[in-house]
Amino acid sequence: MNKIEHIGIAVNSLEEANNLYTQLLGEFPYKSEVVESEKVITSFFKNGPNKIELLAATHESSAIAKFIEKKGEGIHHIAFAVDNIYEEMERLTKAGFQLLSTTPKKGADNKLVCFVHPKSAHGVLIELCQEIK
Ligand code: ZN
């Protein structure tokens, strides 16, 4: 695990959250991207070596919609940058972590991603992400 790559925040309205985070960070988001497979629209802000990812549901069946329904808006996941996602997934599986998929998926921001179940990480959804070269 190299560093915290980004923190994902679940929001109701991407437009409203974009405005607020632009004011907060003093910078506009550098990209917005729809991830069809997850039924979300995201936007990304740079903050030093880290990023903030805002996530809004594009459909009520999205995991983000369900998260907000249960817990309200707020921090959804913490993402760690890894060099080799396959090796990290194997390492964590051997260490007893429960992963949400057996193979990495294509995530937002040009990344291969995999999630660790919050049940095996003290209630925090952990994302592993590897830059696609
Ligand atoms: Zn993320």
Share of the chain above pLDDT 90, in %: 91
Residue 23 near residue 31 (C-beta atoms within 8 A)? no
Q: Determine the distance separating the centroid of ligand 1 and the alpha carbon of 107, expressed in angstroms.
A: 8
Q: Determine the distance separating the centroid of ligand 1 and the alpha carbon of 96, expressed in angstroms.
A: 22
116-132 pLDDT, tens digit each:
999 999 999 999 999 99
What is the distance between the alpha carbons of residues 96 and 57, in angstroms, rounded to a whole number?
A: 31
Q: Determine the distance separating the centroid of ligand 1 and the alpha carbon of 66, expressed in angstroms.
A: 16
Length of the chain: 133
Q: Determine the distance separating the centroid of ligand 1 and the alpha carbon of 25, expressed in angstroms.
A: 18
Q: Determine the distance separating the centroid of ligand 1 and the alpha carbon of 95, expressed in angstroms.
A: 23
20-78 pLDDT, tens digit each:
999 999 999 999 999 988 899 999 999 999 999 999 999 999 999 999 999 999 999 99
Q: Determine the distance separating the centroid of ligand 1 and the alpha carbon of 94, expressed in angstroms.
A: 23
Q: Determine the distance separating the centroid of ligand 1 and the alpha carbon of 8, expressed in angstroms.
A: 5
3-state secondary structure the chain: CCEEEEEEEECCCHHHHHHHHHHHHCCCCCEEEEEHHHCEEEEEEEECCEEEEEEEECCCCCHHHHHHHHHCCEEEEEEEECCCHHHHHHHHHHCCCCECCCCCEEECCCEEEEEECHHHCCCCCEEEEEECC
104-117 pLDDT, tens digit each:
998 888 899 999 99
